[in-house]
Chain A
Amino acid sequence: MSHEILLTQLLYGGAGILFFLLGVWSFISHEPLWRKLIALNIMGAGVFHVLVAVAYRGLDAPPDPVPHALVLTGIVVAVSATALALAFGRRLDREAPEHTSDAHGGVDDREDGTHA
């Protein structure tokens, strides 16, 4: 494996790992539903980034099609999950108690009282 390929893979794959961890951080440290969902999607984008980086085999060789297919499958799954979670959020908003503006954050607020 040539030097150029390895460097490219490390750069893009490393960025993917960084995305994943940023997503994890955001998921655990933010309460509102939409932030958690963006965090999950960033995590997903990170994993897909790693897969696409692995698929790269130099400018002259065709890329490995398997990770590309996995990423396409993964994207559809992520879209489905996000859509369902948003519908849950809408359902909770519809009969949110009093302040509806940030009611998505209310998912957890009964237990730890951190909800402002």
Chain B
Amino acid sequence: MLDPLALAVALPLLGALLVTMLPGWSRTLGMLTALATTGVALWLTVTVWSGEGLRSDLGGWGVPLGIGLRADGLAAALVAMANLVALAISINATGYFGAAESSRKFWPLWLLLWTALNGLFLAADLFNLYVMLELLGLSAAALGALTGTREAAEANLRYLLVGLLGSMTYLLGVALLYTAYGVLDLELVAEALTPGPVAWSALALMIGGLLLKSALFPLHFWLPPAHANAPAPVSAALSALVVKAAVYLVLRLWLDLFDGIATLPAAMLLGLLGAGAVLWGSWRALRAERLKLLAAYSTVAQIGYLFLFLPLLTAAPDGDTRERLLTALVLLALTHGFAKAGFFLAAGLVQKSTGHDRIRELGGAAQSLPAATFTIGLAGVALIGLPPSGTFFAKWVLVGQAIALGQWWWALVAMAGTLLAAAYVFRVLARAFNREPTPKCFLTDPRTEIPALLLAALSALAVGLAAQPIAVLLGAGV
């Protein structure tokens, strides 16, 4: 009896252990693990999509004694996205880390990061989430420093410390909940939780700690240098997946654990910070001088959009409106995951072949690297939110519901952010196309370009059109 939930965590862990022990085989073993893990993740998503929520009790003790894993629609949607992106990053990494030495360093840490991502999306236990957060934070910081430069080490040390501060704060919240209720399973605590000082303190500590990790404005200061200085496949993973995991956890706690505790004013505060992130992040992206820094600031902005949904979700009555908002939110998160990963992989290629990633000097990149430029264009479509990307539908719902629920100001923020996004994307594309077009051949390095291209195409074309199945998935297994 194979359990897809446990396999989604155990397989990448097993792979990480094997590549640690047999570094000479790291590429082969790593790719095999990547394929197997993605297969399990898709199996898991299809199972949930067909109407069965998954739950498994590890050790067979059941709650509250043992630790559970579970997948509802929200978890399954993110697992599918994260594993597809991770597979593309893995393929790209086999080309990017050509030299044996850096490839040996990359694979075990990367598979441990993957373990933590799947474990985090599927966890149903508050303390287990802490362990996953730490595994994620440690492996992400170590991977981010693989470029070996001083800037990368500084940025990732700061990221590590901020992450530790965040997870310690989260852990104190868990300790308070255990003090009051004596259980750690998320659903059991949620059932028992009543408004009061314990609930409010735990909410503030846990959400606060996670906001640090999800880089919500003005706690985003650590993100741009850490993401911009990492090797390209790692940047893609950090921006598309690692930050998203923290945001997912905020959402999970907000909707499942603190439902009824979290008040509208608290949600408004987070929405306000989200608005700040949209405007400030987009503005800094517009002013960025380097392609990867632009992408990193754009992540700050895109994280902001996700938080704009919180006040709407909190204000929305249960039922249809709430479901549509949640679908839009997930659509946005998935689209950004695909788009940003594709963008970073393409930026990595530009950096590798031109020796720099200064936007001002991109002149003619489109001529020498047509596939990479096309990728950036497609990802740009998704980041701006042009139809038929998922972002377009998500913003459509966001603006519509903001007005319907009487919180019209979020609509203004979303529109301003969209204009700024268009400006920063076209600024890159304008530089890339400023020589007469004489493309010789579309692909220059298929192994690094095709994964990026597929991710960007998924983000710009597929996710938006798949809004209906995604809505079905989110409705399933609750």
Find out whether A and B make contact in their complex, taking CB atoms under 8 A apart as touching. Answer: yes
Name A residues whose Cβ lies closer than 8 Å to a Cβ of B. 13, 20, 23-24, 27, 33, 36, 40, 43-44, 46-47, 50-51, 54, 64, 66-67, 70, 73-74, 77, 80-81, 84-85, 88-89, 91-92, 95, 106-108
Whole-angstrom CA separation of A106 from B158 in the bound complex: 11
Whole-angstrom CA separation of A43 from B179 in the bound complex: 18
- Known contacts A67-B178, A84-B141; is-contact A77 B134 (Cβ 8 Å): yes
Contact B179 A85 (CB under 8 A): no
Contact A13 B165 (CB under 8 A): no
- Closest chain A residue to B176 by CB distance? A50
Whole-angstrom CA separation of A23 from B154 in the bound complex: 22
- Closest chain B residue to A9 by CB distance? B179
Contact of B160 among A27, A70, A81 (CB under 8 A): A81
Whole-angstrom CA separation of A98 from B257 in the bound complex: 51
Q: Name A's interface SS.
A: helix
Contact A85 B178 (CB under 8 A): no
Whole-angstrom CA separation of A69 from B50 in the bound complex: 38
> What residues on A are CB-neighbors of B134 within 8 Å?
77, 80-81
Answer whether residue B315 sits at the interface, using C-beta atoms and an 8 A cutoff: no
> What residues on A are CB-neighbors of B127 within 8 Å?
70, 73
> What residues on B are CB-neighbors of A36 within 8 Å?
161
Chain B proximity of A102: nearest CB distance (Å):
15
- Closest chain B residue to A55 by CB distance? B178
Name B residues whose Cβ lies closer than 8 Å to a Cβ of A. 127, 130-131, 134, 137-138, 141-142, 145, 150, 153-154, 156-158, 160-161, 164-165, 168, 171-172, 175-176, 178-179, 182, 184
Q: Name B's interface SS.
A: helix
> What residues on A are CB-neighbors of B138 within 8 Å?
80-81, 84
Chain B proximity of A53: nearest CB distance (Å):
8
Q: List the 7 closest pairs (A to B, CB-CB), nearest first.
A: A88-B157, A50-B175, A43-B168, A77-B134, A54-B179, A47-B172, A47-B171
Chain B proximity of A68: nearest CB distance (Å):
12
> What residues on A are CB-neighbors of B156 within 8 Å?
88
> What residues on A are CB-neighbors of B137 within 8 Å?
81
Contact B158 A107 (CB under 8 A): yes
- Closest chain B residue to A20 by CB distance? B172
Chain A proximity of B6: nearest CB distance (Å):
19
Most A CB contacts (10 A, CB to CB) among B141, B153, B171 go to: B171
- Closest chain B residue to A83 by CB distance? B138
- Known contacts A43-B168, A47-B168; is-contact A88 B145 (Cβ 8 Å): yes
> What residues on B are CB-neighbors of A33 within 8 Å?
157
Contact B158 A108 (CB under 8 A): yes
Chain A proximity of B326: nearest CB distance (Å):
32
Contact B179 A92 (CB under 8 A): no
Chain A proximity of B386: nearest CB distance (Å):
36
Contact of B175 among A54, A92, A107, A108 (CB under 8 A): A54
Contact A107 B171 (CB under 8 A): no
Whole-angstrom CA separation of A88 from B163 in the bound complex: 15
Whole-angstrom CA separation of A88 from B142 in the bound complex: 9
Contact B178 A54 (CB under 8 A): yes
- Closest chain A residue to B153 by CB distance? A91
* A and B contact pairs by CB, cutoff 8 A, 20 listed: A47-B172, A47-B175, A50-B172, A50-B179, A51-B175, A54-B179, A67-B178, A74-B171, A77-B130, A80-B134, A81-B134, A81-B137, A85-B161, A88-B145, A88-B156, A92-B154, A92-B157, A95-B150, A106-B154, A107-B158
Chain A proximity of B139: nearest CB distance (Å):
10
Contact A27 B165 (CB under 8 A): yes
> What residues on B are CB-neighbors of A51 within 8 Å?
175, 178
Whole-angstrom CA separation of A85 from B165 in the bound complex: 13
Chain A proximity of B234: nearest CB distance (Å):
16
Chain B proximity of A110: nearest CB distance (Å):
9
Contact B153 A81 (CB under 8 A): no
> What residues on B are CB-neighbors of A73 within 8 Å?
127, 131
- Closest chain B residue to A91 by CB distance? B153
Whole-angstrom CA separation of A105 from B444 in the bound complex: 44
- Known contacts A81-B134, A107-B158; is-contact A40 B168 (Cβ 8 Å): yes
Chain B proximity of A77: nearest CB distance (Å):
5
> What residues on B are CB-neighbors of A40 within 8 Å?
161, 164-165, 168
> What residues on A are CB-neighbors of B168 within 8 Å?
20, 23, 40, 43-44, 47
Chain B proximity of A69: nearest CB distance (Å):
9
